[in-house]
Amino acid sequence: MSVPASRQRTTYQLVEAVVARLDQDELPQLPRLWDAYTRHPDGRERDREHLLGSGVLTEISAWAPLVVAFVGAAVLDALKEEITERSRDGIRTLFAWRRRRRQAMREVLAEPLPPFDDAEQARIARSVRSKALALGLPEDKAQLLADAVTGELLRESTTPPLEG
């Protein structure tokens, strides 16, 4: 079933729903984390370190920063063809291309998510789980995170359209 664009969530709304499933007490800090992430969604190393290991995170428990970083990156990866297409138009220098690519990432993160098929949903969940394991999260927590993401992606794909 296809969900009309007016009912589709943005990546932030997906992240918010996943954090709510894991620990609702972390929701008040989510806007600050999301803002820090979207400033540099291209994953510059020092920005990721700041998001995952210091600064704004000192007052937050474990789930929110992981969900922001991992779900945001997985969605961007799933939409990489769209981002590449947007960043190609009219670019002549490498610097301009990087700037345009970062802008395309921000745009994609702010727009309603496209409907992901079952394979894309599974790929996003696997990506989140593998990133969590690579960061050193225990297997059970990494699986809980992947399950929460899967649950929200499934909920998105099965939400009935609004009646007129």
Domain ranges of the chain: 5-158
**Sequence-ordered list of residues with C-beta below 8 angstroms from that of 93, at least 6 positions apart, any chain:** none
Position 157 confidence tier, pLDDT thresholds 50, 70, 90 = low
Question: Amino acid identity of 76?
Answer: L
Q: How far apart are CA 14 and CA 110, in angstroms?
A: 11
**pLDDT tens digits along 98-142:** 778 888 888 888 999 888 899 999 999 999 999 888 888 889 999
Contact of 34 with 69, CB cutoff 8 Å: no
Q: Which among 4, 154, 121, 137 has a CA at the least distance from the CA of 66? A: 137
Q: How far apart are CA 63 and CA 53, in angstroms?
A: 13
Q: Above 60 in pLDDT, residue 2?
A: no
Greater confidence, 83 or 153? 153
Which pLDDT does position 85 carry in this prediction?
79
- Predicted TM-score of the model (pTM): 0.76
Which two structure tokens, joined as six digits, stand for 108?
């994609």
**pLDDT tens digits along 22-49:** 999 999 989 998 988 888 777 654 444 4
Provide mean pLDDT across the span 86-107: 74
Which pLDDT does position 151 carry in this prediction?
93
Which pLDDT does position 69 carry in this prediction?
86
